């Protein structure tokens, strides 16, 4: 059972709230008017005092705090002091209470004994003479405002149903049946159960759930068995048919077979269709089957960027060509696997994905690769990891490495719809709106420069430096395209220009560099627009540039109130992760679940060397080219905030 109460006093520093959770005011239930006794021995507070849970909406999986103290005062009101945690969810709920957005509380309790009075012409009066509260919840919708804030509406609980399971155990919702005496003290209750013959009955039972009196026979034993078996067979055939069709439509017959064998439903199949492409096991399979050229671990460790660059920079130097013989052989194999010619040296995905331990050569001396100068491992990260570490979007997005061709990606275009059905009607499976978007490789080129003297160094730190510079050169271009790519002129389509992405127009009073800067309300609106599309998740983030972070740090959420800035001390915004990159334009903010952004990279990094542009200065320009593209799997899960004016 549940009752509503009110918030009394808030201590922001201690994160505590004093509240009233119960009173003696009658509440209309399905069985009559209920009154909770608040006599000295009527309320059992043991469970509340033993670390009782503070929940959201009576959801046992959504705990945000703990009960610190509880009491029943002489005015017939139950009161408690609760303390909220520091998780993102707890911070969200506590801040809403501080801001006056969430004002209502409710108590979940178990009825132990009752006293019932039969009243002519009006509902019976049921006094709960002994009861046990076991959790206090923050709730959104009150129904009865007579106790400060209000109470929650309830439907008659079905025995063993969701209400009983959610609100507290074996006796939740138990109410005594009336009798002819007009008033009595009892622990007897009415439940739906099976009798000794297997009939489904509504019966009065004692405290041990033993049937005392059968009130109604709901279903005779065995009467529905044939119909149940037939319906089960029809449903199983429909399940197999729909799973098979989904597997065939989206090119995943093996997944359909797995789901059929595992007794999974169509909804499970849809989730797997949306997620299986970016799972690690799928990435590894794509890498090994499509883009890898079969290098062993030892061979990937031998590949040296420096040797390849030296050979490209000095095409007439026989010793440089011989030293890079292995790199040229690997490049030819990678180019053949990709079905295109390399402009310089093609570095296969085998090398890009692996963190090499050294640059020992096949045919080159240890001194040539730095093996005699530094004994530590060459790198702690692979080239791809270095690339991701230098970008914001590639860190937050879902990578798909080693693509071949133009693969189709299943995307979520909308949600499932609910509907009402009649008695004995079969619930039809509503197809989740799935679509397809195609990855199409776009070539991003970037360059870095290195002096000839540096290139001649043998230290493995130089190899690491070269790889790092190449990763940085590519990362900035890839990151910018992911946010602002136009989809034209050989660019990918970025978040800001993708149809279906939520857009919030910043028209706030603040300004910076001639553009409007967002207010706290507009920051909240970005989250609200995503939530309205049922796309909000805990892993969302806000991404902005350094100037916007400065604006957030110097702007209060509410003018003249608590003085709290938008940018919070734990580097979060509105309870979500805050990320900063100067790739974002002044006045812009991106928000959402960036895991919806799929970044595809085709196998092979093409490296060419330009020794002519800065030949008089003795510099080499190293040009890198990588095929990549972006696809938004669920655009409604992202929001773009900007000054549209």
Q: Which tens digit of pLDDT belongs to each residue from 235-294?
A: 888 888 888 887 777 667 888 888 888 888 877 777 677 665 444 334 444 433 444 677
pLDDT, position 369 = 30
What six digits make up the tokens of 8? 């009394």
Longest dimension (CA), the chain: 113
For the segment 576-623, what is each residue's pLDDT rounded down to a tens digit?
A: 999 999 889 999 999 999 988 988 888 778 888 887 777 667 778 888
pLDDT, position 512 = 57
Distance CA 111, CA 60 (A): 19
Whether the pLDDT of residue 167 is over 50: the answer is no
C-alpha torsion sign, points 381, 384, 385, 390: positive
Q: How far is CA 641 from the centre of its chain?
A: 21
> Is the Cβ–Cβ distance between 219 and 200 less than 8 Å?
yes
pLDDT, position 27 = 83
> Is the Cβ–Cβ distance between 371 and 379 less than 8 Å?
no
Give the N- to C-terminal CA distance of the chain in Å, as an integer.
53
Distance CA 305, CA 20 (A): 69
Distance CA 415, CA 163 (A): 27
- Phi/psi for 385 (5° steps) reads -65, -40
pLDDT, position 266 = 76
Query: In what helix (H) or strand (E) does residue 117 lie, and over which residues does it extend?
Result: strand 104-117
Q: Are strands 345-347 and 398-403 parallel, antiparallel or unpaired?
A: unpaired
For the segment 76-123, what is each residue's pLDDT rounded down to a tens digit?
A: 888 999 999 999 999 999 999 998 888 888 888 888 888 888 887 788
Highest mean pLDDT among 57-71, 501-515, 534-548: 57-71
The mean per-residue pLDDT over the stretch 295-310 comes to 81
> Which of the residue ranges 32-36, 250-254, 343-347, 381-385 would you say has the lowest mean pLDDT?
381-385
Please give the share of the chain, as a percent, with pLDDT higher than 90: 21
For the segment 45-86, what is each residue's pLDDT rounded down to a tens digit?
A: 999 999 999 999 888 889 999 999 999 998 888 899 999 999
* Model-wide pTM > 0.75: no
Distance CA 603, CA 334 (A): 8
């Amino acid at each position: 059972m549940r009752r509503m109460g009110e918030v009394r006093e808030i201590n922001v520093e201690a994160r505590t709230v004093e509240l009233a959770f119960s009173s003696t005011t009658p509440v209309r239930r399905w069985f009559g008017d209920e009154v909770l006794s608040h006599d000295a021995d009527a309320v059992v507070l043991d469970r509340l005092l033993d670390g009782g849970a503070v929940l959201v909406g009576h959801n046992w999986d959504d705990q945000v705090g703990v009960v610190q103290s509880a009491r029943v005062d002489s005015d017939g009101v139950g009161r408690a002091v609760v303390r909220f945690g520091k998780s993102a969810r707890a911070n969200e709920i506590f801040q809403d209470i501080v801001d006056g957005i969430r004002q209502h509380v409710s108590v979940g309790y178990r009825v132990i004994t009752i006293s019932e009075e039969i009243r002519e012409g009006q509902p019976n009066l049921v006094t709960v003479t002994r009861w046990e509260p076991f959790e206090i919840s923050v709730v959104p919708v009150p129904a009865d405002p007579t106790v400060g804030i209000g109470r929650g509406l309830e439907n008659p609980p079905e025995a063993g149903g969701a209400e009983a399971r959610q609100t507290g155990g074996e006796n939740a919702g138990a109410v005594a049946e009336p009798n002819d005496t007009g008033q009595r003290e009892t622990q007897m209750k009415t439940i739906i159960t099976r009798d000794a013959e297997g009939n489904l009955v509504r019966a009065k039972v004692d405290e041990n759930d033993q049937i005392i009196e059968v009130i109604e026979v709901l279903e005779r034993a065995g009467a529905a068995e044939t119909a149940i078996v037939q319906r089960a067979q029809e449903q199983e055939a429909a399940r197999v048919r729909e799973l098979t069709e989904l597997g065939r439509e989206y090119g995943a017959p093996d997944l359909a077979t797995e789901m059929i064998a595992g007794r999974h439903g169509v909804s499970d199949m849809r989730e797997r269709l949306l997620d299986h492409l970016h799972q690690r096991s799928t990435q590894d399979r794509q890498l090994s089957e499509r883009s890898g050229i079969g290098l062993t671990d030892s061979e990937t460790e031998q590949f040296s960027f420096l040797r390849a660059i030296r050979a490209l920079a000095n095409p007439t130097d026989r010793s440089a060509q011989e030293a890079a013989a292995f790199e040229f052989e690997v490049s030819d194999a990678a180019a053949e696997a990709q079905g295109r010619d390399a402009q310089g040296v093609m570095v296969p995905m085998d090398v890009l994905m692996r963190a090499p331990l050294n640059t020992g050569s096949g045919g080159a001396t240890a001194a040539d690769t730095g093996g005699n100068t530094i004994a530590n491992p060459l790198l702690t990260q692979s080239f791809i990891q270095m690339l991701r570490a230098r970008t914001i979007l590639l860190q937050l997005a879902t990578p798909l490495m080693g693509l071949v061709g133009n693969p189709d990606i299943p995307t979520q275009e909308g949600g499932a719809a609910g509907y009402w059905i009649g008695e004995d009607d079969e619930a039809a499976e509503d197809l989740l709106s799935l679509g397809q978007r195609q990855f199409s490789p776009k070539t991003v080129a970037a360059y870095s420069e290195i002096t000839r003297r540096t290139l001649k160094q043998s230290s493995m730190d130089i190899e690491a430096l070269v790889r790092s510079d190449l990763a940085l050169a590519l990362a900035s271009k890839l990151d910018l395209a992911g946010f602002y790519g136009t989809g034209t002129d050989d660019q990918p389509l970025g978040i800001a220009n993708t149809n279906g992405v939520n857009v919030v127009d910043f028209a706030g009073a603040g300004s910076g560099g001639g553009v409007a800067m967002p207010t706290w309300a507009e920051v909240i609106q970005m989250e609200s627009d995503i939530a309205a599309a049922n796309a909000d998740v805990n892993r969302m983030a806000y991404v902005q540039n350094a100037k916007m972070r400065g604006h957030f740090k110097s702007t209060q959420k509410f003018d003249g109130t608590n003085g709290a800035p938008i940018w919070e001390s734990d580097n979060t915004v509105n309870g979500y992760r805050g990320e900063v990159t100067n790739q974002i334009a002044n006045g812009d903010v991106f928000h959402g679940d960036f895991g919806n952004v799929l970044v595809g990279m085709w196998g092979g990094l093409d490296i060419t060397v330009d020794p002519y542009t800065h030949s008089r200065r003795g510099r080499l320009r190293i040009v890198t080219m990588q095929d990549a593209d972006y696809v938004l799997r669920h655009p409604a899960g992202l929001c773009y905030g900007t000054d549209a004016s």
